[in-house]
Structure 1
């Protein structure tokens, strides 16, 4: 696998960690500010995941992506 593809795979792992963190933060939060923070983390994870998915698809179409 190309180094750039490895980095995209790591990005998907990062996104999953961000979702887990946002979920955990929502469970233990004690005020609205924390709710906003973890909402931003979750929203950012969705945006990053979408960008990474588009980039992966572009690499697949170019024939670069190898599982």
Structure 2
């Protein structure tokens, strides 16, 4: 796997951890400010994941991406 593809894969893994952390934080929060924090974290993770998935698809189309 090319280094650029490994970085995309790591980014996708990171977004999954970000979403899990947002879910965990949201479940134990004690005020609405924390809810805002975890909402921003979750939204950011979804946006980053969307961008990384687009890049992965572009690399697949170019024939660069290998499992």
Question: What is the TM-score of this pair, normalised by structure 1?
Answer: 0.98
What's the counterpart of residue 63 of structure 1?
63
What's the counterpart of residue 4 of structure 2?
4
Aligned residues: 67
Q: Gaps spanning 5+ residues in structure 1: where? A: none
Rounded Cα–Cα distance in structure 1 between residues aligned with 2:61 and 2:48: 20
What's the counterpart of residue 39 of structure 1?
39
RMSD: 0.4
What's the counterpart of residue 30 of structure 1?
30
Question: What is the TM-score of this pair, normalised by structure 2?
Answer: 0.98
